[in-house]
Amino acid sequence: MNIGIAFDLKADFLSQKPADAPDDLFEEYDSVGTVDAIQRALESRGHTVSRLGGGRRFLARMLEAAPALVFNISEGHGSRSREAHVPAVCEMLGVPCTHSDPLTMAVTLDKAMAKRVVASAGVPTPRFVVLEELRDMERVELPFPLFAKPLFEGSSMGIRKRSRIEDRAQLRERAGQLLHDYAEPVLIEEFCGGAEFTVGLLGNGERSRVIAAMEVEPLLVPRTEFVYSLEVKRNPDWADEIAYNVPPKRPRAEVERIEKVALDAYRALGCRDIARIDVRCDTAGDPKFIECNPLPGIAPGWSDLAILWERIGKSYDELVLAVLDEACARARLP
Ligand SMILES: Nc1ncnc2c1ncn2[C@@H]1O[C@H](COP(=O)(O)OP(=O)(O)O)[C@@H](O)[C@H]1O
Ligand SMILES: [Mg+2]
């Protein structure tokens, strides 16, 4: 089968970065090494692979000669619906595509929308307020500490140790900075000061299932202050700062509660094929939905999902092929 990979490379965007933009502006985009690794995995099954890229280049290639299936890791560009661009084009042209459909992609990138959907399905998530402008701060009546982040970013963009907020002065300073840097609304949430997990999920419909939960354990700071921030993720000596525990070193019943929050959210959001869902406990130990990544990064040895997959003893190729198998079964492809 001919499979086209849709992707956006960090290198293609760096030249467009305004001088005063935050240094994580293109953090979500991929490196060519990830595309190479996906291509190798698909070729190991005997498929022929074409590189479609993203944006207009992707559109032109799809109109010229569409593949039998698109393997999608394209983050898109420019709006809170950006992750929906590639699946929407595929849907319009009748070409099967891996990962979630445009609706799920768009709903999950807007973290408040995702929280409203999962909450309506009975999945616990921290209480929140969306600030469109700094003046909206007056509406924040949640108890401190709070957490502030851009409404529709991922890959730790705008997430720093100082995203945990202790008082109104910090709220004003941090929210003002985020509104300025990302030119989009800011999500203010109750801070969950308990254990942190990210859960890998695979499958469709009744066959949706948890791959594993991975605890992200802080080694240098107490849990009540920990933020799995860009500083931590970029630290070349990250192993000094955090431990990734797969499975979490916790009683099975506790892990099952975490996994249930993630699986219920996966279903409520209508995820397809694969996703990674962040769950964090509050200080009472109750797990809460934080966010859903229906297009989880799979940079080998680097992305959380690739690490989680490695820790359950499976190869990188098996990860790529697991996604492919789910998409093919769903689209009734051989
Ligand atoms: N409400 C919250 N309470 C406590 N920690 C939070 C909260 N929201 C986010 N965090 C911390 O910030 C990290 C990144 O937030 P997240 O929403 O997952 O952003 P990203 O899309 O960049 O991964 C989380 O892994 C967690 O450590
Ligand atoms: Mg996250």
Mutate-to-test residue for ligand 1 from 197, 228, 292, highest number of ligand atoms within 8 A of CB: 228
- Beta strand spans in the chain (E): 2-6, 48-53, 69-72, 128-131, 146-150, 164-165, 186-190, 196-202, 209-218, 242-245, 274-281, 287-293
pLDDT exceeds cutoff 90 at 276 = yes
Mean pLDDT across 94-98: 98
**Confidence class of residue 112 from pLDDT cuts 50, 70 and 90?**
very high
Q: What is the pLDDT of residues 155-170, one digit of tens each?
A: 888 888 889 999 999 9
Q: What is the pLDDT of residues 173-206, one digit of tens each?
A: 999 999 999 999 999 999 999 999 999 999 999 9
pLDDT of residue 314: 98
SS3 state at 277: strand
pLDDT exceeds cutoff 90 at 234 = no
pLDDT exceeds cutoff 80 at 13 = no
pLDDT of residue 304: 95
Between the CA of 115 and the centroid of ligand 2 the distance, in Å, is 13
pLDDT exceeds cutoff 80 at 25 = no
* Percent of the chain clearing pLDDT 90 (strictly above): 85
CATH top-level class of 127-190? alpha beta
pLDDT of residue 161: 87
Domain 193-331 CATH superfamily: ATP-grasp fold, B domain (3.30.470.20)
Rounded to the nearest angstrom, the gap between the alpha carbon of residue 241 and the centroid of all alpha carbons in its chain is 21
Decide whether any atom of ligand 1 lies within 6 Å of the 159 Cβ: yes
Q: What is the pLDDT of residues 219-231, one digit of tens each?
A: 999 999 999 998 8
Decide whether any atom of ligand 1 lies within 6 Å of the 114 Cβ: no
pTM over 0.85: yes
Q: Determine the topology of domain 2-98 in CATH.
A: Rossmann fold (3.40.50)
Decide whether any atom of ligand 1 lies within 6 Å of the 227 Cβ: yes
Go through 309-322 and write b for each residue having 16 or more CB atoms within 10 A of its CB, e for each that does not.
Answer: bbeeeeebbebbbb
pLDDT exceeds cutoff 80 at 210 = yes
Q: Where are the domains of the chain?
A: 2-98, 127-190, 193-331
Decide whether any atom of ligand 1 lies within 6 Å of the 290 Cβ: yes
Q: What is the pLDDT of residues 40-80, one digit of tens each?
A: 999 999 999 999 999 999 999 999 999 999 999 999 998 99
pLDDT of residue 239: 87
The number of beta carbons lying within 10 Å of the beta carbon of residue 259 is 22
**Confidence class of residue 121 from pLDDT cuts 50, 70 and 90?**
very high
Mean pLDDT across 250-275: 98
